[in-house]
Amino acid sequence: MLTIDHLNQYYGGSHILRDVSLQAPKGKLTALMGRNGVGKSTLLKCLMGILRPRNGSVSWEGHALDRLAPWDRVRQGLAYVPQGREIFPRLTVEENLLIGAASKRAPKGIPSHIYTLFPVLQDMRHRRGGDLSGGQQQQLAIGRALMSEPQLLILDEPTEGIQPNIIQQIGRTLRQLVDDMGMTVLLVEQYYDFCEEHADHYVVMSRGSVVASGDGADMAAHGVREMVTV
Protein backbone atom coordinates (compact mmCIF):
# COMPACT_ATOMS: atom_id res chain seq x y z
CA MET A 1 0.00 0.00 0.00
CA LEU A 2 0.90 3.68 -0.19
CA THR A 3 2.08 4.97 3.19
CA ILE A 4 2.65 8.63 4.03
CA ASP A 5 4.22 9.24 7.43
CA HIS A 6 4.45 12.61 9.23
CA LEU A 7 4.87 14.70 6.07
CA ASN A 8 5.47 18.46 6.45
CA GLN A 9 5.77 21.05 3.70
CA TYR A 10 6.06 24.84 3.68
CA TYR A 11 5.60 27.61 1.11
CA GLY A 12 7.82 30.36 2.41
CA GLY A 13 6.73 30.84 6.01
CA SER A 14 3.35 29.13 5.50
CA HIS A 15 3.03 25.63 6.94
CA ILE A 16 1.00 23.89 4.20
CA LEU A 17 1.19 20.19 5.16
CA ARG A 18 1.12 19.56 8.89
CA ASP A 19 2.38 16.17 9.99
CA VAL A 20 0.27 14.36 7.37
CA SER A 21 0.02 10.59 7.80
CA LEU A 22 -2.29 8.36 5.77
CA GLN A 23 -2.49 5.04 3.95
CA ALA A 24 -4.06 4.15 0.63
CA PRO A 25 -4.85 0.40 0.65
CA LYS A 26 -3.62 -1.66 -2.28
CA GLY A 27 -6.23 -2.52 -4.90
CA LYS A 28 -8.70 0.07 -3.56
CA LEU A 29 -9.89 3.55 -4.52
CA THR A 30 -9.04 6.10 -1.85
CA ALA A 31 -10.70 9.52 -2.06
CA LEU A 32 -8.75 12.40 -0.52
CA MET A 33 -11.17 15.25 0.18
CA GLY A 34 -11.21 18.69 1.74
CA ARG A 35 -12.05 22.29 1.01
CA ASN A 36 -9.91 24.46 -1.29
CA GLY A 37 -6.51 25.37 0.05
CA VAL A 38 -6.07 22.58 2.60
CA GLY A 39 -2.98 21.12 0.88
CA LYS A 40 -4.38 18.26 -1.20
CA SER A 41 -2.61 19.16 -4.46
CA THR A 42 0.59 19.95 -2.59
CA LEU A 43 0.47 16.49 -1.05
CA LEU A 44 0.16 14.85 -4.47
CA LYS A 45 3.13 16.82 -5.78
CA CYS A 46 5.15 15.62 -2.79
CA LEU A 47 4.10 12.04 -3.55
CA MET A 48 5.38 12.36 -7.11
CA GLY A 49 8.62 14.12 -6.16
CA ILE A 50 7.65 17.37 -7.89
CA LEU A 51 7.97 19.05 -4.50
CA ARG A 52 10.37 17.85 -1.83
CA PRO A 53 8.78 17.93 1.64
CA ARG A 54 10.57 19.47 4.59
CA ASN A 55 10.44 16.14 6.42
CA GLY A 56 8.47 12.92 6.67
CA SER A 57 8.46 9.88 4.42
CA VAL A 58 6.56 8.29 1.52
CA SER A 59 6.68 4.61 0.64
CA TRP A 60 4.95 2.39 -1.89
CA GLU A 61 4.81 -1.37 -1.41
CA GLY A 62 7.37 -1.04 1.37
CA HIS A 63 9.90 0.82 -0.81
CA ALA A 64 10.90 4.32 0.28
CA LEU A 65 10.36 6.93 -2.44
CA ASP A 66 11.82 9.96 -0.69
CA ARG A 67 15.10 10.14 -2.62
CA LEU A 68 13.64 9.28 -6.03
CA ALA A 69 13.12 11.77 -8.85
CA PRO A 70 9.63 11.95 -10.42
CA TRP A 71 10.61 9.78 -13.41
CA ASP A 72 12.03 7.13 -11.10
CA ARG A 73 8.76 7.09 -9.15
CA VAL A 74 7.00 6.39 -12.44
CA ARG A 75 9.34 3.44 -12.93
CA GLN A 76 8.34 2.26 -9.43
CA GLY A 77 4.72 2.06 -10.61
CA LEU A 78 3.25 5.50 -9.88
CA ALA A 79 1.37 7.60 -12.43
CA TYR A 80 -0.03 11.10 -11.98
CA VAL A 81 -2.89 12.97 -13.67
CA PRO A 82 -2.45 16.63 -12.64
CA GLN A 83 -5.16 19.17 -12.07
CA GLY A 84 -5.85 20.94 -15.35
CA ARG A 85 -4.86 17.86 -17.37
CA GLU A 86 -1.69 19.43 -18.91
CA ILE A 87 -1.87 17.60 -22.20
CA PHE A 88 0.23 18.80 -25.14
CA PRO A 89 -2.24 20.78 -27.28
CA ARG A 90 -0.21 20.77 -30.51
CA LEU A 91 0.48 17.04 -30.45
CA THR A 92 -2.04 14.48 -31.66
CA VAL A 93 -3.96 12.26 -29.28
CA GLU A 94 -1.76 9.34 -30.32
CA GLU A 95 1.43 11.34 -29.73
CA ASN A 96 0.19 12.45 -26.30
CA LEU A 97 -0.46 8.84 -25.37
CA LEU A 98 2.95 7.67 -26.54
CA ILE A 99 4.63 10.29 -24.35
CA GLY A 100 3.05 8.49 -21.41
CA ALA A 101 5.14 5.44 -22.30
CA ALA A 102 8.43 7.36 -22.17
CA SER A 103 9.53 5.39 -19.10
CA LYS A 104 9.41 2.19 -21.15
CA ARG A 105 12.53 1.23 -23.04
CA ALA A 106 10.68 0.09 -26.14
CA PRO A 107 7.04 1.24 -26.27
CA LYS A 108 5.08 -0.83 -28.79
CA GLY A 109 2.28 1.51 -29.77
CA ILE A 110 -1.00 2.06 -27.97
CA PRO A 111 -2.27 -1.00 -26.03
CA SER A 112 -5.77 -2.01 -27.02
CA HIS A 113 -7.12 -1.65 -23.48
CA ILE A 114 -6.50 2.13 -23.57
CA TYR A 115 -8.87 2.48 -26.49
CA THR A 116 -11.29 0.02 -24.90
CA LEU A 117 -11.44 2.21 -21.79
CA PHE A 118 -11.68 5.42 -23.83
CA PRO A 119 -13.14 4.71 -27.30
CA VAL A 120 -13.25 8.43 -28.15
CA LEU A 121 -9.45 8.51 -28.10
CA GLN A 122 -9.27 5.95 -30.87
CA ASP A 123 -11.81 7.88 -32.92
CA MET A 124 -9.78 11.08 -32.48
CA ARG A 125 -6.27 9.63 -32.38
CA HIS A 126 -5.08 11.82 -35.28
CA ARG A 127 -6.56 15.07 -33.92
CA ARG A 128 -4.50 17.54 -31.94
CA GLY A 129 -5.04 17.41 -28.21
CA GLY A 130 -5.98 21.07 -28.10
CA ASP A 131 -8.94 20.41 -30.39
CA LEU A 132 -10.61 18.06 -27.89
CA SER A 133 -13.31 19.10 -25.43
CA GLY A 134 -12.46 19.37 -21.74
CA GLY A 135 -13.95 15.96 -21.01
CA GLN A 136 -12.07 14.35 -23.88
CA GLN A 137 -8.82 15.97 -22.74
CA GLN A 138 -9.39 14.53 -19.26
CA GLN A 139 -9.80 11.07 -20.75
CA LEU A 140 -6.61 11.65 -22.74
CA ALA A 141 -4.74 12.67 -19.58
CA ILE A 142 -5.86 9.50 -17.79
CA GLY A 143 -5.04 7.37 -20.82
CA ARG A 144 -1.58 8.94 -21.02
CA ALA A 145 -0.95 8.09 -17.36
CA LEU A 146 -2.05 4.50 -17.94
CA MET A 147 0.50 4.12 -20.74
CA SER A 148 3.24 3.66 -18.12
CA GLU A 149 1.40 0.57 -16.83
CA PRO A 150 1.14 1.89 -13.26
CA GLN A 151 0.20 0.05 -10.11
CA LEU A 152 -0.82 3.29 -8.37
CA LEU A 153 -2.81 5.93 -10.27
CA ILE A 154 -2.93 9.39 -8.66
CA LEU A 155 -5.53 11.87 -9.93
CA ASP A 156 -6.05 15.53 -8.98
CA GLU A 157 -9.64 16.78 -9.45
CA PRO A 158 -10.50 14.69 -12.56
CA THR A 159 -14.15 15.86 -12.59
CA GLU A 160 -13.35 19.59 -12.51
CA GLY A 161 -15.11 21.40 -15.35
CA ILE A 162 -16.34 18.15 -16.94
CA GLN A 163 -19.84 17.51 -18.26
CA PRO A 164 -21.94 15.03 -16.23
CA ASN A 165 -21.95 12.19 -18.77
CA ILE A 166 -18.13 12.21 -18.91
CA ILE A 167 -17.96 12.30 -15.11
CA GLN A 168 -20.05 9.14 -15.04
CA GLN A 169 -17.76 7.50 -17.59
CA ILE A 170 -14.64 8.44 -15.61
CA GLY A 171 -16.21 6.94 -12.49
CA ARG A 172 -16.96 3.68 -14.28
CA THR A 173 -13.43 3.60 -15.69
CA LEU A 174 -11.82 4.09 -12.28
CA ARG A 175 -13.92 1.29 -10.80
CA GLN A 176 -12.94 -0.94 -13.72
CA LEU A 177 -9.25 -0.22 -13.11
CA VAL A 178 -9.65 -1.13 -9.45
CA ASP A 179 -12.11 -4.03 -9.65
CA ASP A 180 -10.97 -5.71 -12.86
CA MET A 181 -7.27 -4.77 -13.09
CA GLY A 182 -6.34 -4.61 -9.39
CA MET A 183 -5.00 -1.07 -9.62
CA THR A 184 -4.69 1.21 -6.60
CA VAL A 185 -6.20 4.67 -7.09
CA LEU A 186 -5.65 7.80 -4.99
CA LEU A 187 -8.16 10.44 -6.02
CA VAL A 188 -8.21 14.07 -4.91
CA GLU A 189 -11.75 15.26 -5.46
CA GLN A 190 -14.13 18.01 -4.32
CA TYR A 191 -17.27 16.41 -5.79
CA TYR A 192 -18.64 14.64 -2.73
CA ASP A 193 -21.31 12.56 -4.51
CA PHE A 194 -18.68 11.17 -6.90
CA CYS A 195 -16.51 10.11 -3.96
CA GLU A 196 -19.41 8.61 -2.03
CA GLU A 197 -20.39 6.52 -5.05
CA HIS A 198 -16.95 5.23 -5.96
CA ALA A 199 -14.58 5.35 -2.95
CA ASP A 200 -13.57 2.24 -1.00
CA HIS A 201 -11.71 4.37 1.52
CA TYR A 202 -11.77 8.08 2.32
CA VAL A 203 -9.45 10.64 3.92
CA VAL A 204 -10.42 14.20 4.84
CA MET A 205 -7.93 17.04 5.19
CA SER A 206 -8.44 20.40 6.89
CA ARG A 207 -5.86 23.17 7.33
CA GLY A 208 -3.05 20.94 6.16
CA SER A 209 -3.83 18.00 8.44
CA VAL A 210 -5.73 14.73 8.18
CA VAL A 211 -8.85 15.06 10.33
CA ALA A 212 -10.85 11.95 9.40
CA SER A 213 -10.61 8.66 7.50
CA GLY A 214 -12.58 5.47 7.10
CA ASP A 215 -14.47 3.15 4.77
CA GLY A 216 -16.20 4.71 1.81
CA ALA A 217 -19.45 3.00 2.76
CA ASP A 218 -19.46 4.97 6.03
CA MET A 219 -19.04 8.46 4.55
CA ALA A 220 -22.66 9.49 5.03
CA ALA A 221 -22.85 8.12 8.56
CA HIS A 222 -19.60 9.88 9.48
CA GLY A 223 -20.85 13.27 8.22
CA VAL A 224 -18.15 13.66 5.59
CA ARG A 225 -20.32 15.87 3.36
CA GLU A 226 -20.45 18.53 6.08
CA MET A 227 -16.67 18.32 6.53
CA VAL A 228 -15.86 19.05 2.88
CA THR A 229 -18.58 21.43 1.72
CA VAL A 230 -18.72 25.16 2.39
Domains of the chain, each with CATH number or no CATH: 2-86+151-228 (3.40.50.300)
CA distances from 65 to 4, 51, 70, 161, 222 (A): 10, 13, 9, 32, 32
State residue 147's pLDDT score.
Answer: 95
- Cβ atoms within 10 Å, residue 20: 23
Measured between alpha carbons, how far is 77 from 15 in angstroms, rounded to an integer? 29
For the chain, residues with pLDDT lower than 70 are 105-107, 230
State residue 230's pLDDT score.
Answer: 64
Contact between 35 and 206 under an 8 Å Cβ cutoff? The reply is: yes
Please, which residues bridge with residue 202 across strands?
31, 214
Contact between 31 and 203 under an 8 Å Cβ cutoff? The reply is: yes
Please, which residues bridge with residue 63 across strands?
60
Please, which residues bridge with residue 64 across strands?
59
Measured between alpha carbons, how far is 121 from 129 in angstroms, rounded to an integer? 10
Please, which residues bridge with residue 153 across strands?
79, 185
